[in-house]
């Protein structure tokens, strides 16, 4: 349909965009192109007043650095890759936010990817991040073993393990003692009179699940010296709300029925609470419930959820610090930063 004669004026095509170059910025700032390059790549060696003048020129000219060109010259991008198990789990996004809060003060941007426990997805993400010449990688490994990450070490890509211990000193790592965390949750239930527990746990390929199971077994050995307790592990395919909701039927069909359900993370616990509520099962009167992670929603539920707190944000900050040290410190030595879990008792398991 042709536009009416006195219709709106046709919009003139925009003039082709002419890239602003580093020379244009240098001219406006009154410095050499080398100084502009230093401000962009090694700001710590440029005087504050010069740095400010150059950044003002970058702003006023609308200069956008071409990181591909910078990378072709063997440079690294101001980017850090973050690979986690499940971005739908607030534990990982909170850990990401901790890392981001520290790294963005140094001018980094972060690329986030979720493996959902797939070693193949992990390999694809790691390859893509290396192709983008990331400065380093923060990763919660998908596999029980670390062999899939050997390439990062071989190619000298600074890498920090998130929420996973290194097997030797091949990587830096930030960890929480999940064995202790599992033990804390189980002991709490035993000590509040629960002798029959259901332990809803994820697959043994997930290291965190294996360690929490080990903690539960440690608590059973300890408490069995004075009282007879029984823990039945109920395995689920993933640690999600839906898997927690789906497992309730199996728990209620157990005989004898447990008086408490310990969940390997808060998402499972949220699903279990929803499943119990939809069947009129009262918490904690009929069945006590505990989670793990102490995610933000746990204290807002009714009943409020007992959980094992992991300092997710602090884990992320610590991982960022380790990565920056590995990138900048020629005498860097790989090390583990370990945090302790903390039991937070709330209504869902209070006697």
CB 315 within 8 A of CB 339: yes
Nearest to 263 by CA among 234, 299, 304, 286: 234
Choice between 143 and 252, CB closer to ligand RIB: 143
Nearest to 189 by CA among 113, 81, 269: 269
**Please, what is the minimum distance in Å from the beta carbon of residue 205 to ligand RIB?**
11
Structure-token match 């709330």, residue found: 346
**Please, what is the minimum distance in Å from the beta carbon of residue 310 to ligand RIB?**
6
**Please, what is the minimum distance in Å from the beta carbon of residue 269 to ligand RIB?**
10
Total residues in contact with ligand RIB, by rule CB under 6 A? 11
Cα 108 to Cα 323: distance, rounded to the nearest angstrom = 12
Position 163 contacts ligand RIB (CB under 6 A):
yes
Subset of residues 196 to 215 that bind ligand RIB, contact rule: CB under 6 A = 206, 208
CB 236 within 8 A of CB 275: no
Position 22 contacts ligand RIB (CB under 6 A):
no
Any residues with CB less than 8 A from the CB of 172 and at least 6 apart, and which?
Answer: 159, 160, 161, 166, 319, 322, 323, 326, 334, 335, 336, 337
Q: Tokens representing 37?
A: 């390059």
Look at strands 159-162 and 172-176 and give their pairing: parallel
Torsion of Cα atoms, 185 then 190 then 196 then 202, to 10°: 10
Choice between 173 and 208, CB closer to ligand RIB: 208
**Please, what is the minimum distance in Å from the beta carbon of residue 86 to ligand RIB?**
6
Look at strands 172-176 and 230-235 and give their pairing: unpaired
Structure-token match 């199971």, residue found: 213
Position 89 contacts ligand RIB (CB under 6 A):
yes
Backbone angles phi, psi at 301, to 5 degrees: -75, 165
Choice between 40 and 322, CB closer to ligand RIB: 322
Look at strands 172-176 and 196-201 and give their pairing: unpaired
Choice between 77 and 89, CB closer to ligand RIB: 89
Position 91 contacts ligand RIB (CB under 6 A):
yes
Position 85 contacts ligand RIB (CB under 6 A):
yes
Which positions from 235 to 274 touch ligand RIB by CB under 6 A, shown as an x/- string?
----x-------------------------x---------
**Please, what is the minimum distance in Å from the beta carbon of residue 56 to ligand RIB?**
44
3-class SS of residue 228? coil
Cα 314 to Cα 52: distance, rounded to the nearest angstrom = 32
Interface with ligand RIB by CB under 6 A: which range of 27-35, 70-78, 82-90, 141-149? 82-90
Interface with ligand RIB by CB under 6 A: which range of 36-44, 83-91, 131-139, 165-173? 83-91
Indicate the residue whose CB is closest to ligand RIB.
265
Choice between 197 and 295, CB closer to ligand RIB: 295
Choice between 35 and 89, CB closer to ligand RIB: 89
Can you give the binding site for ligand RIB, defined by CB under 6 A?
85-86, 89, 91, 163, 206, 208, 239, 265, 292-293
């Amino acid at each position: 349909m042709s536009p009416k004669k006195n219709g709106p004026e046709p919009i003139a095509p925009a003039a082709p965009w002419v890239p602003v170059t580093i020379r244009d910025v240098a001219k406006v700032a009154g410095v050499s192109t080398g100084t502009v390059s230093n401000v962009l790549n090694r700001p710590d060696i440029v005087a504050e007043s010069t740095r400010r003048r150059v950044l003002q020129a970058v702003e006023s000219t609308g200069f956008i650095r071409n990181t591909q060109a910078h990378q072709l010259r063997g440079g690294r991008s101001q980017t850090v890759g973050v690979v986690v198990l499940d971005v739908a789990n607030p534990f990982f996004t909170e850990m990401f936010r901790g890392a981001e809060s520290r790294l963005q003060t140094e001018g980094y941007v972060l690329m986030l990817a979720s493996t959902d426990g797939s070693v193949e997805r992990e390999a694809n993400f790691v390859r893509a991040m290396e192709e983008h010449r990331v400065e380093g990688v923060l990763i919660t490994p998908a596999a029980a073993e670390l062999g899939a990450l050997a390439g990062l070490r071989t190619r000298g890509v600074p890498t920090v393990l998130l929420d996973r211990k290194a097997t030797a000193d091949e990587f830096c790592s930030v960890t929480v003692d999940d064995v202790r965390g599992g033990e804390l949750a189980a002991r709490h239930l035993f000590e509040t009179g629960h002798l029959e527990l259901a332990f809803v746990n994820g697959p043994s390929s997930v290291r965190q699940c294996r360690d929490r199971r080990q903690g539960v077994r440690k608590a059973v050995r300890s408490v069995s010296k004075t009282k007879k307790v029984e823990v039945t592990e109920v395995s689920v395919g993933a640690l999600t709300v839906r898997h927690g909701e789906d497992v309730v039927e199996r728990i209620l069909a157990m005989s004898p029925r447990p008086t408490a359900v310990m969940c390997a993370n808060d998402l499972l616990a949220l699903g279990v609470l929803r499943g119990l509520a939809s069947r009129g099962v009262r918490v904690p009167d009929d069945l006590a419930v505990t989670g793990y992670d102490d995610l933000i929603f746990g204290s807002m539920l009714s009943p409020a959820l007992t959980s094992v707190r992991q300092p997710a944000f602090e884990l992320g900050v610590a991982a960022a610090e380790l990565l920056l040290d590995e990138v900048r410190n020629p005498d860097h030595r790989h090390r583990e930063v370990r945090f302790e879990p903390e039991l937070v008792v709330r209504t869902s398991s209070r006697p």
